[in-house]
Chains A and B, each alone.
With several copies, the nearest count.
Chain A
Amino acid sequence: MQYEFIFAGFGGQGVLLMGQMLAHAAMDEGKKVSWIPSYGPEMRGGTANCTVIVSERDIGSPVVGSPSCVVAMNLPSLDKFEDVVKPGGVLVINSSLVTREPKREDVTVVKVPATDMANELGNVRVANMVALGAVIEATKVVAPDSLVAALKKNLPPHRQNLLPLNREAIDKGRSSV
């Protein structure tokens, strides 16, 4: 079984980190993983996205044309990636910032008001973890505990205090599905 994800949003939303944490968690579960940033000519500002693959066996192409899951943290990301989700795949939408309805009918759409929920938690920056919670709930790609463990292992020392908040954000995201 192989899962392919594209996480997309604007710079500052922490989309690259979302992907990395998922990859860490899956790796620690013994799966094969790969992560690539959209390494575009734009150096800063604008949109950001990354591709994560989680697989039981060796990963071929790290680039994916049609991922099994797309996470759109803002409207431009939905516009750009809606079409590429694999039929039957999952489309996770940050409904706080995405105003329009998705057009795809052959995919499972998961709407999470991630930014609002993060705001409720007191820190808009954890919107990414809310969305990531929704992702693992909808896809079951990794166990929630693995994700929390990955965060714990990989947050830099001066960010460790944010761990409980992140855990809450993940839970909130999961329960929103």
Chain B
Amino acid sequence: MRLVFDRPQSLADVQTHYCPGCTHGIIHRLIAEAIDELDVADRTIGVAPVGCAVLAYNYFNLDFQEAAHGRAPAVATGIKRALPDRVVFTYQGDGDLASIGTAEIIHAANRGEAITVVYVNNTVYGMTGGQMAPTTLPGQKTTTSPYGRDTDLAGYPIRVAEMLSTLVAPQYIARVAVNSAPNIQKAKRAIKKAFEIQVNDNGFALVEVLSTCPTNWGLTPEKSLRWLEENMIPYYPLGDFKVPKEVE
């Protein structure tokens, strides 16, 4: 029998600090697979966020920088402009990218920085204990929306992929989910494409990945996948929102 599935090379062979069943781990693996398949590990530089993925640099066999909360796109811009022939990606949570880092992601996208952004939307601030995020669903209870998100006071969840798609420069913007094996395969293809766009077309690409936070949702990992499917996907539709002109 031959080995048909194994840990990708770019994924460090270490235990992660993620909670059991947290899909951050799946997303890490998909990124590593994309990097391996494109054979760019030796010229890739990752930018870690502040959020549960703050230790991402321990989990990849890649050079990494740790950005201040929300500033990963600016840090990635600095790296990419300094070393234009490298492959630079950011890995960011929804608090990091859609709240404190709103200006940075919009302007990196608008400049068309040739970077790849993996945006992990799990509707909460996982790391700090499950507070409300800009992506928390209407009525969803979190530690700072104990009575459920009140859209009159806190507004509606932000759809980042749709918002960024109004900009001219970005080449590729998609939303995927990692709640099932087929969706994971689609997510893989999207993430790989987002790296290809950078490598081949020198363009900006972002993949929003719907992800779970069993710990702060107070659900088992399995129920979390279901919750994602039943609650998140209806609000955050999956699909490509912007594709490169040639392919359109």
| B218 CB–A CB distance under 8 Å | no
- Count class of interface residues, chain A: under 10
User: Closest residue to A45 on the B side, CB-wise?
Assistant: B19
Q: Determine the distance from Cα of A11 to Cα of B82 in the docked complex, in whole angstroms.
A: 42
**A33-84: which have CB < 8 Å to B?**
43-45
CB distance from B17 to the nearest CB of A (A): 8
B46 CB → nearest A CB, Å: 22
- A residues near B127, Cβ cutoff 8 Å: 43
Interface residues of A in 1-51 (CB under 8 A from B): 43-45
Does residue B129 face the partner (Cβ distance < 8 Å to A)?
A: yes
How many B residues, CB 8 Å from partner? 4
CA distance A67 to B19 in the complex (A): 32
Closest A residue to B129 by beta carbon equals: A43
Which residue of B has the minimal Cβ distance to A41?
A: B17
Question: In this assembly, does B61 line the interface, its C-beta being within 8 Å of a C-beta of chain A?
Answer: no
Residues of A within 8 A of B129 (CB): 43
Question: Is residue B145 within 8 Å, beta carbon to beta carbon, of the partner chain?
Answer: no
Residues of A within 8 A of B215 (CB): 44
Q: Name the distance in Å between B169's Cβ and chain A's nearest Cβ.
A: 32
Bound state CA distance, A45 and B127, in angstroms? 13
Q: Which of B4-26 contact A (CB under 8 A)?
A: 19
Q: How far does the alpha carbon of A45 sit from the alpha carbon of B15 in the complex, in Å?
A: 14
Complex Cα spacing A43 to B19, Å = 10
Cα distance A58–B66 in the bound complex, in angstroms? 44
Q: Cα distance A43–B22 when bound, in Å?
A: 14
CB neighbours of A44 from chain B (8 A): 19, 215
Min C-beta distance of B43 to chain A, whole Å: 33
CB distance from A42 to the nearest CB of B (A): 8
Interface string of B13-47 (1 = CB under 8 A from A): 00000010000000000000000000000000000
Chain B: CB-nearest residue to A46: B17
Residue numbers in B under 8 Å from A45 (CB-CB):
19
CB distance from A10 to the nearest CB of B (A): 14
Distance (whole angstroms) from the CB of B51 to the closest CB of chain A? 12
Instruction: With both chains docked as a complex, state the minimum distance between the C-beta of B129 and any C-beta of chain A, in angstroms.
Output: 7
Chain B 126-137 near chain A by CB (<8 Å), digits 1 or 0: 010100000000
Residues of A within 8 A of B19 (CB): 44-45
Q: How far is the CA of A58 from the CA of B19 in the complex (A)?
A: 40
Residue of A nearest to B20 (CB): A45
Which residues 69-118 of A sit at the B interface, judged by CB distance below 8 A? none
Q: How far is the CB of B143 from chain A (nearest CB, A)?
A: 13
Closest to B126 in A: A43
CB distance from B55 to the nearest CB of A (A): 11
Query: Distance (Å) between the CB of B108 and the closest chain A CB?
Result: 29
Per the bound structure, the CA–CA distance linking A133 and B126 in Å amounts to: 36
Contacts of A43 in B (CB 8 A): 127, 129
Report the separation of the CA atoms of residues A159 and B215 in the bound assembly, to the nearest whole angstrom. Answer: 22
CA–CA, A106 and B137, complex, Å: 57
Tell me, rounded to whole Å, the shortest Cβ–Cβ distance linking A172 to chain B.
31
* Nearest CB on A from B216, distance (A): 9
A126 to B129, CA, bound (A): 26
Contact pattern, B 211-228, Cβ under 8 Å of A = 1, otherwise 0? 000010000000000000
A45 to B17, CA, bound (A): 10
Q: Measured between alpha carbons, how far is A135 from B127 in the docked complex, in Å? A: 35
Separation of A45 and B215 alpha carbons in the complex (Å): 10
- In the assembly, what is the distance between CA of A43 and CA of B130, in Å? 12
CA distance A44 to B129 in the complex (A): 10
How far does the alpha carbon of A45 sit from the alpha carbon of B19 in the complex, in Å?
A: 8
Instruction: Give residues of chain B (113-155) contacting chain A, Cβ–Cβ below 8 Å.
Output: 127, 129
Instruction: Report, nearest first, the 5 A-B pairs whose CB atoms are least far apart.
Output: A44-B215, A44-B19, A45-B19, A43-B127, A43-B129
Name 5 interchain pairs, CB-CB below 8 A, sorted by A: A43-B127, A43-B129, A44-B19, A44-B215, A45-B19
